[in-house]
Amino acid sequence: MQSITMVRGDPQPKPTVRWSVDGVESLLALPMNDLLRTAHETHRAHHDPNAVQLSTLLSIKTGGCPEDCGYCPQAARYHTNVVSEDLLPLDAVVTAAAAARAAGASRFCIGAAWRGPRDRDLEPVLAMVREVKALGLETCATLGMLKAGQAERLRDAGLDYYNHNLDTSPEFYGEVITTRDYRDRLDTLDRVRAAGMHVCCGGIVGMGESRRGRAGLIAQLANLDPYPESVPINSLVQVEGTPLHAQFGGVTAIDPIEFVRTIAAARITMPRAMVRLSAGRRELGDAAQVLCYFAGANSVFYGDKLLTTGNPDFDADRDLFERLGINAGIHAGLE
C-alpha cells in the first residue's frame, strides 16, 4: 500500500509517492473491516469524526447543454423530462442562498449547463457570486470549461471554489463522453489553481466501469498537485432517456458496499480533503450512508434537489444526523 507523508501546518499536502492505479485497486480489494479501519483512522487523524459540512447546489441555467455526457439529463440531444430554462434572475439566486444558509448550509454552489461560459454569460454569474458571498457563505460554481482569464474574474468576484469533475478514469472516459477530452478537464483545473482558487473535483461511479476503473479515478484525483480540497463522489442516478439508463441498454446500479469502498479509498488517498457524498445519496439509503460517514465522508449536498435529480430532503437528513450524533453544518479540522 502506498502512503502519503503529511507535514503539519501545510494547508494542502502533496504526496511524496504518487498513487498508482494498482495501489488504489489494492486498497479497494482489502477485507471490508480492514479498509474501514484504515479509512476511519485516517479520517479521525485529520478531521472531526462527528462533523459534516453542508453545501447546497442550485441550477442557475438548466438544460440545453451541447455535450454528450452519457449520464446527463441536461444534454440537449437526449429526450428526458428536463426542460431547458434561461438563466435565473439574481434575486431568485439570492433568495435561494439565504434559505440555504438558514437551513444550515455553509457553502452555496451554483451550476449552469454550459460547455463553458461565454464572457457575456459570465457577467450575471459574477453578480451572483458577489451577492452570495455577501451573505457570509462560501461560494462555489460549476460552469463547464473555463477560458483564459475567466478564473481570475470569478476569483475577483469572491468565488472560493470552482467545481470541475474528472467524472471517471482516463481509460474509461471515452465510453461516457466524446465531446470534450480529459485534457480539457485538466486544463480547466490548472486555470483554477493558477488563479488561486480552491478546487472541487471528483467523479461518478456506477457508470459501468470496473473496480479498476474506480481505482483509476481515485488515483487521478489523488495525484493532482495538490489534490482537491473538495472531492464529490457521485453514485450514478439513472435518468430515463440517457444512454446509461438500464432501460436503454445502460448499466447496473453499483453495489452500495462497493460505493462505500470508493469513499474509503478517497479518504485514505486524500486525507485532508472534504469528501462529499453527492448525487445518488437518496438511492443509497441510510445504512450505506452511515458506513460512508465512518469511512471518511464529511460533506454532503443538502436540499431536496441536485441540479435536476432528487436528493434526501432537509428533514430526512436532520433526522439521520441526529440519530448518528453528527454535528451537521460545521466542519472542525484537527490540524
* R_g of the chain computed on alpha carbons: 19
Q: Which residue among 101, 191, 267, 276 is the active-site one?
A: 276
Q: Which residue among 65, 261, 272, 281 is the active-site one?
A: 65
Q: Which residue among 200, 214, 267, 272 is the active-site one?
A: 200
Active site residue 292: no
Q: Which residues contact 143 (CB under 8 A, 6 or more apart)?
A: 111, 112, 114, 116, 117, 121, 122, 125
Active site residue 69: yes
Active site residue 101: no
Q: Which residues lie across from 161 on neighbouring strands?
A: 140, 198
Cα-flanking dihedrals φ and ψ of residue 223, to 5°? Answer: -95, 0
Q: Which residues contact 64 (CB under 8 A, 6 or more apart)?
A: 74, 76, 84, 113
C-alpha cell recorded at residue 165? 469533475
Active site residue 109: yes
As a whole number of angstroms, the distance between CA 219 and CA 295 comes to: 18
Active site residue 130: no
Q: Which residue among 107, 109, 261, 292 is the active-site one?
A: 109
Active site residue 140: yes
Instruction: Map grid coordinates 479498509 to a residue.
Output: 35
C-alpha cell recorded at residue 269? 488517498
Contact in structure between 19 and 223 (CB atoms under 8 Å): yes
Q: Which residue among 101, 107, 140, 153 is the active-site one?
A: 140
The CA dihedral of 248, 213, 293, 71, to the nearest 10 degrees, is: -30
What residues are labeled active site? Answer: 65, 69, 72, 109, 140, 200, 276
